[in-house]
Amino acid sequence: MFPKEFLWGGATASAQYEGGFDEGGRGKSQLDFIDFISVEKRIGNQCTDDVSWERYKTIRENESEYNLPYRRGADFYHHYKEDIKLMAEMGFKVFRMSISWARLYPTGEEETPNPEGLKFYHDVFDELHKYGIEPLVTMIHYENPVHLTEKFNGWESQKMISYFVKYTKTLIDEYKDKVKYWITFNEINATLCTPFVSSGMFVEKSQKNKLSCEYQALHHQLIASALTVKYAHETAPQCMIGAMIARLECYAETCKPTDVLANMIDDQINLSFFDIMARGSYPKFLLNYFRDNDIIIDFVDNYEQILKEGTVDYLAFSYYMSYVVSAEPGKAEAPGNLVKSLVNPYLKQTEWGWGIDPIGLRITLNRIYDKYQLPLFIVENGLGAKDVLEEDGSVHDAYRIDYLREHIKAMDKAIDDGVELLGYTSWGCVDLCSASFADMTKRYGYIYVDADDYGNGTYNRYKKDSYYWYKKVIESNGKDLD
């Protein structure tokens, strides 16, 4: 069922992939100060917590004593030609990447962008086009100049809007002829789970309660996104600008109406970001939720008009697993992507305890498309696993092939159901640093990178079994999944 022009590819993010953190005039981002989360500090394979102000300060003052893997990523900065060649050999039509804000504006406050930073991304886009690969660019994938975190407490401050829009206008002006597909914010809803990682702010430093602080930051991001979309529509009408969420497809634990209602509310909140970014206004249920939960937001002047004028062209989301919701508090929970979930007894789980649910992907595609009637793009999906590099340079990752095959079948069925799906970029197509633990142990790629959690290794690239498999999938436009 896949249309001829379907965009097959893979996804990455600069903070987790790029490395070169102190080269080319790049400033530091807040993620450069997250240390490797060792096994001892993990609870049930879930990252113990977002980074606190105290923890951040300690690392900041003693940088050299910490293992800071985000700084290294998988060293795309020095390997981009090789990586793109490998992607081209696999047949990629699209490559999702993000731009490091601090590489273009080292502190965020400069008046003009760093020319070396601009050149680096020009080179990357040129290399992609050499092979006919379309870049799909996330303007911000969690990564903020750390200077803005320290000076303004990140996105809690309204000041972030103008710094961000200066940066995104640069992106559009500079790259509009090389990049057609854009996403403003990666998983915009993630601030509700990881405010430091996603918004570069410390909730404990705010005068507001936790939810107010988070929704305040989100309000600023939604405004910044809408202003960016408006600018792109006016100056680069050939581009398509998307919204993105971490999709938390959820099921009620039972058919008890209270469980079904609790599930409905979780789902409404998860999709509320699409309501705002695609329809251009805050939905009534979200304003009621603010009222009922003591969430106070200082709305930006003229925000209603700004949101209306900056609605997106397509909807992108990540999908790794589904969730189970109960109205009764205190039930045992399993780890998940961003949030924990009740265990779904009908699903198998990954090594990290994430419930594998390809049917949930078909459900989610239908649900989102039915509601918004906009083209969709799956920009993250995949299996994190501990791969083993054999002596002969092979990696046998049949488990990953099984996972991806079932999800691709689900996409195929959803397209047959009538969903308009632009493309599929599976996560971490080249191994990169994981977001939850800042480690290299949890890998997603078709291409293995020889680097461990401590930065030891050659950083050489090796093709996994899934590499050859995905090449066939793309060649046959999704028909040959064996």
Which listed residue (187, 214, 249, 253) is catalytic? 187
Binding pattern to ligand BG6, positions 181-200, x when CB under 6 A?
A: -----xx-------------
Stretch that binds ligand BG6, among 69-77, 116-124, 166-174, 430-438 (CB under 6 A): 430-438
Beta strands (DSSP E) in 269-399 are 314-318, 323-325, 333-334, 341-342, 376-380
Per rule CB under 6 A, count of chain residues that contact ligand BG6: 15
Instruction: Kindly tell me the burial class for residue 132, based on how many C-beta atoms sit within 10 Å of its own C-beta (0-12, 13-18, 19 or more).
Output: exposed
Show the site string, 131-170: x = touches ligand BG6 by CB under 6 A, - = not: ----------------------------------------
Give the CA dihedral 402, 4, 6, 403, nearest 10 degrees. 0
Is the CB of 41 or the CB of 291 nearer to ligand BG6? Answer: 41
350 binds ligand BG6 (CB under 6 A): no
Residues 371-400, interacting with ligand BG6 (CB under 6 A): 380, 384
Which of 246/356 has CB closer to ligand BG6? 246
Shortest distance, position 246 Cβ to ligand BG6, whole Å: 5
Contact window for ligand BG6 (CB under 6 A) among 111-119, 168-176, 274-282, 428-436: 428-436
Supply the minimum distance, in Å, between the C-beta of residue 272 and ligand BG6: 18
In the structure encoding, which two tokens stand for residue 184, read together? 């403003």
Whole-number Å distance between alpha carbons of 338 and 437: 12
**Smallest distance, Å, CB 373 to ligand BG6?**
25
**Residue 13 sits in the site that holds ligand BG6 (CB under 6 A):** yes
Cβ closest to ligand BG6, residue 228 vs residue 350: 350
The CB-of-434 to ligand BG6 minimum distance in angstroms stands at: 3
Catalytic residue check, 187: yes
Does the active-site annotation cover 40?
A: no
- Of the residues 435, 440, 447, 474, which one makes contact with ligand BG6 according to CB under 6 A: 435
In one-letter notation, the amino acid at residue 437 is: F
Q: Which amino acid is at 231?
A: Y
Q: How many CB atoms lie within 10 A of CB 388?
A: 10
Question: Does residue 339 touch ligand BG6 according to CB under 6 A?
Answer: no
Counting beta carbons within 10 angstroms of the beta carbon of residue 157, is it exposed (0 to 12), middle (13 to 18) or buried (19 or more)? middle
Residue at token pair 């854009």: 182
- Position 436 contacts ligand BG6 (CB under 6 A): yes
318 binds ligand BG6 (CB under 6 A): yes
SS (H, E, C) 178-205: CCCEEEEECCHHHHHCCHHHHHCCCHHH
Question: Smaller CB distance to ligand BG6: residue 212 or 337?
Answer: 337
Q: Applying CB under 6 A, which part among 61-69, 199-207, 210-218, 435-443 lies near ligand BG6?
A: 435-443
Q: Which segment (31-39, 253-261, 355-363, 429-437) binds ligand BG6 by CB under 6 A?
A: 429-437
Q: Does 319 bind ligand BG6 (CB under 6 A)?
A: no
The minimum distance between CB 338 and ligand BG6, in angstroms, equals: 6
Q: 34 exposed, middle or buried (CB, 10 Å; 0-12, 13-18, 19+)?
A: buried
Nearest-approach distance from CB 30 to ligand BG6, in angstroms? 14
CB of 224 within 8 A of CB of 165? yes
Structure tokens at 334: 């399993």
Taking CB under 6 A as the criterion, which residues in 244-283 touch ligand BG6? 246
Rounded Cα distance, 442 and 440, in Å? 6
Contact 240, 313 (CB under 8 A): yes
Question: What angle do the packed helices 358-372 and 398-417 form, to 10 degrees?
Answer: 30
Q: How far is residue 102's CA from residue 109's CA, in Å, rounded to a whole number?
A: 10
18 binds ligand BG6 (CB under 6 A): no
Q: Where are the beta strands (DSSP E) in 345-473?
A: 376-380, 421-427, 447-449, 461-463
Active-site annotation, residues:
187, 380
Q: Which residues bind ligand BG6 (CB under 6 A)?
A: 13, 16, 186-187, 246, 318, 337-338, 380, 384, 427, 434-436, 442
